[in-house]
Chains A and B, each alone.
Chain A
Amino acid sequence: MLVLVFFTVRLTGDPVGLMVARNATPEQREAFRVAHGFDRPLAEQFIGYLGNALGGDLGKSLRLHLPNAELIMQRLPATMELALAALLLSLVIAVPLGIISGVFPGSPLDLLARLIGLAGQTIPSFWLAMILILVFAVNLRLFPTFGRDSLEHLVLPAVALSVASMGQMVRLLRSAVLEVSRENYIRTARSKGLSEIVITLRHVTPNALIPLVSVVGVNFTYMLGGSVYIETIFAWPGLGTLLNDAINDSDFPLVQAITIFIAAFAIGLNLLTDIAYDLIDPRARQR
């Protein structure tokens, strides 16, 4: 990961051309290169960078002249707020819809669920974001277009960010419910004369929800990453817009710092997901 980020950002161009005024003298350019270590061989730059990153030092932004860690922490709350809201929204809609659609396959609600599943996985979220703005902000004037001022401002970006994960969750839950319904213990429960509601709530749902746990973890990471363009479209002042600016300005240290931060966050989250999985599903512990 570190290797990939380090070398890809350096393929995108020379930071000196962007950070130094166009009429700067060759001496000023060289001074900038030396000051930021860009004159050293790539391998040497990489080793220095690796050492700092492992020591928790994420470096300093070229453009904003501030420590990258400070910049990330400044923007993190906004991104977390958006990602959590989107995750919550997808859960609130996907869980009941997925279960109902699995329990009543072929019903109108099932059709709706399958439609959401399909739409979520096929509609690009940046396109959806623009459509949401045009319809709900410009034409209907129901929600604000951009920014992060009040709860109202959260609605459109959260919807845009949640749809992909919502679709995936609905599909997953639907197939899990269908699968669990065919299990022998469900047949046993039914033969004992339990009502369908009790069967669904006590036996089907808990078992069908298990695979969802890992998906929630993965999707949350995806949302942190996916927030780059959603945040940019809705002018949401989070990590995504910070990364977008950093890429546009070839602010290498900041791009590296944000990517590493998100990667580290993803690894931590995956670990938590695995632990949670173990706690919920006894079968996982026995392996």
Chain B
Amino acid sequence: MRNRSCVFLFIVFLIVPLVPVRGQPSGELVIALPNDPTGIYIGNASDVTAISATRPLYDGLVVYGADGSIQPGLAESWDISEDGRTYTFHLREGVKFHNGEDFNAHAVSTIWEYGMTPTNQWLSYYDSVASAGDIVVIDDYTVEITTSEPDAFFLSEMANGWFAIPPAYLAEVGLEAFEAAPVGTGPFMLENWAPGDRIVMRAFADYWNPEQPKVERLTFRIIPDATTRMAAIQTGEVDIVTRLNTDDVALLEFNPDVKIVSYPNDRVYYVAFKNIGNGAGTPLEDKLVRQALNLAVDREGLVAALFSGYGQTVSGFVIPSNLGFDPSLQPYPHDPQRARELLAEAGYPEGFAIGMSCPADAYTNINEVCLSVQRDLDGIGVDVDLEFKTTNAFWSEAHYATTGPMYVDSWSSPNGEAFWRLEGSLTPGYYYSTWTDPVIVDYLGQIAQAVDREERAALYAELSHYMYDDPPYIYLYVLNLFEATTKRVTGYQPLPNETFYLNEVGVGG
């Protein structure tokens, strides 16, 4: 009997590889990471690298589409109640965790409650969603989550930070063991993590979408040095490298084995003004002065000269790829003549002197950008005393309090909406928020509660007009980001939030 089954198994093993299976993953995809992730457990992943590298292990209830809209994930669909507070998620059936555990409403609820317990500081998600509230299991595949107030970004935060992990396994092994060998429902399961060296994953055979993933092995290699990453993509030792600068692009452009992928990054560079602390009582309080400073800067020239044209000038904090962008708003033109007139009108015909701080080397060519702004403002009689600070010192609380009253900074807002950029830099009380305007604060409060997307879009547009006319910043530019892949990589598209979506990525040849 035993022999017979052995023979049977033997035959099965012989035949199985010969039968072509649709969607069978194959090959190995190797991705270079610029630094060692802090961990591979999504609950602790705080840096972009860690989030990128751990993401393939997990799925959320909802996910971001390429256009920034919210798409179904482990929840096939959802309903939002009239008052905008209750979300009913209809879960996908037949989904399994990598360890064989079933994914269902009870799993969601157990994990949710575990995360909401204040003593379990394990999922940064729950900290970031102030409105996260009660969960009710309706049936095996339906859960209802009620937020404490209408929250326009509840689904965004869910897509960003909530991932299903198996409650029974977590209870069995404990958090520490789970952190070392995490389990999710994602398209890839963890095979090996060698800190400082690599993270190896393999395709999860029982993934709920039989067409995904496309590759059998997924390997992240940690390569801290940019020159080495460039070499490794040229030799084909890695398939995807990120964060290229324009020099790298020039080097790879003519390499027949490499493809360059370009996409606009949602990070606005700007010169900030202060109207609190040492900014109070300065000429910056006058709206005409701030308009004049906006007119004085030659943005087009700056993008052309310093970034070889790989960037766009902006009219405000809501950029073309954001919800509610109004194309009728054009970036301030370079008009020094008009700028001088405005200064005279504001009572500064001879200009004035003012301090400006620059985060030295923090971004591509940022030092040159600071110098260029200084020169342009000098052109209308504004004498800028420029100070360079190393990044750690620049972004410290003490520095924000004493710097400036002008400083160069940037802010990203990765989910297709400018809210996080606006809220982060314009909310009184945050130490890095140095401009206070009650009108803007009021708009932000309305946006945060506008669960309806169209309503938010209209509010963003109104706010943009207000902030164009009464600018709290000199708006500068957004830059294109570049990544490179080997020619054999298929189906890869970088996301503006700088993380990876690898379900559809394959390797040919």
Task: Tell me the A residues contacting B by CB distance below 8 Å.
Answer: 12-14, 17-18, 21-23, 26, 29, 63-65, 71, 74-75, 130, 133-134, 137-138, 141, 144-148, 232-235, 237-238, 241-242, 244-245, 248, 250
- Nearest CB in chain A: distance from B256 CB, A: 14
Docked CA distance A238–B266 (Å): 35
1/0 per residue, CB under 8 A from A, across B26-60: the answer is 00000000011011000010100000000000000
Using A13-B396, A22-B432 as known contacts, say yes or no to A241 and B231 having CB atoms under 8 A apart: no
Task: Tell me the B residues contacting A by CB distance below 8 Å.
Answer: 35-36, 38-39, 44, 46, 124, 128, 194-198, 221-225, 227-228, 231-232, 234-235, 237, 390-393, 395-398, 424, 430-432
| Contact call A12/B392, Cβ cutoff below 8 A | yes
Contacts A13-B391, A14-B396 known; 13 new A-B pairs at CB < 8 A: A13-B392, A14-B392, A21-B124, A133-B227, A133-B231, A138-B235, A146-B223, A146-B228, A146-B232, A232-B225, A233-B225, A233-B227, A235-B225
- Nearest CB in chain B: distance from A62 CB, A: 10
Chain B residue numbers with a CB within 8 Å of A65 are 39, 44
Docked CA distance A154–B221 (Å): 17
| Contact call B231/A138, Cβ cutoff below 8 A | yes
**Can you give 12 A-B contacts (C-beta < 8 A)?**
A12-B392, A17-B392, A29-B397, A64-B39, A134-B231, A138-B231, A141-B235, A146-B231, A146-B237, A147-B198, A235-B221, A245-B196
| Contact call A148/B224, Cβ cutoff below 8 A | no
Using A12-B392, A13-B392, A235-B222 as known contacts, say yes or no to A23 and B197 having CB atoms under 8 A apart: no
Interface residue from B35, B46, B223, B232 paired with A248 (Cβ < 8 Å) = B35
| Contact call B197/A137, Cβ cutoff below 8 A | no
Docked CA distance A137–B234 (Å): 9
Docked CA distance A141–B257 (Å): 14
Docked CA distance A241–B224 (Å): 8
Chain A residue numbers with a CB within 8 Å of B391 are 13
- Nearest CB in chain A: distance from B268 CB, A: 15
- Nearest CB in chain B: distance from A12 CB, A: 6
| Contact call A245/B231, Cβ cutoff below 8 A | no
Chain A residue numbers with a CB within 8 Å of B424 are 22-23
Interface residue from A144, A147, A233, A245 paired with B36 (Cβ < 8 Å) = A245
Using A232-B224, A245-B224 as known contacts, say yes or no to A14 and B397 having CB atoms under 8 A apart: yes
Chain B residue numbers with a CB within 8 Å of A71 are 195
- Nearest CB in chain A: distance from B248 CB, A: 13
- Nearest CB in chain A: distance from B218 CB, A: 16
| Contact call A145/B237, Cβ cutoff below 8 A | yes
Chain B residue numbers with a CB within 8 Å of A12 are 392
Chain A residue numbers with a CB within 8 Å of B235 are 137-138, 141, 144-145
| Contact call A237/B396, Cβ cutoff below 8 A | no
Q: Count CB-based A-B contacts (< 8 Å).
A: 96
| Contact call B392/A137, Cβ cutoff below 8 A | no
Docked CA distance A71–B234 (Å): 32
| Contact call B228/A133, Cβ cutoff below 8 A | yes
- Nearest CB in chain A: distance from B215 CB, A: 19
| Contact call A64/B38, Cβ cutoff below 8 A | yes
- Nearest CB in chain A: distance from B361 CB, A: 13
Using A13-B392, A146-B221 as known contacts, say yes or no to A26 and B431 having CB atoms under 8 A apart: yes
Residue among B124, B231, B390, B430 with the highest chain A CB neighbour number at 10 A: B231
Residue of A nearest to B228 (CB): A146
Chain A residue numbers with a CB within 8 Å of B223 are 146, 235
Residue of A nearest to B223 (CB): A235
- Nearest CB in chain A: distance from B418 CB, A: 15
Residue among A14, A21, A26, A235 with the highest chain B CB neighbour number at 10 A: A235
- Nearest CB in chain A: distance from B196 CB, A: 4
Docked CA distance A242–B36 (Å): 9
Chain A residue numbers with a CB within 8 Å of B390 are 13
| Contact call B39/A138, Cβ cutoff below 8 A | no
| Contact call B224/A237, Cβ cutoff below 8 A | no
- Nearest CB in chain B: distance from A190 CB, A: 53
Interface residue from A14, A21, A26, A242 paired with B196 (Cβ < 8 Å) = A242
Docked CA distance A26–B44 (Å): 21
Docked CA distance A238–B368 (Å): 36
| Contact call A245/B35, Cβ cutoff below 8 A | yes
Docked CA distance A63–B47 (Å): 10
Docked CA distance A235–B232 (Å): 11
Chain A residue numbers with a CB within 8 Å of B198 are 147
Docked CA distance A133–B222 (Å): 17
Chain B residue numbers with a CB within 8 Å of A145 are 228, 231-232, 235, 237
Residue of A nearest to B423 (CB): A23
- Nearest CB in chain B: distance from A249 CB, A: 8
- Nearest CB in chain A: distance from B130 CB, A: 11
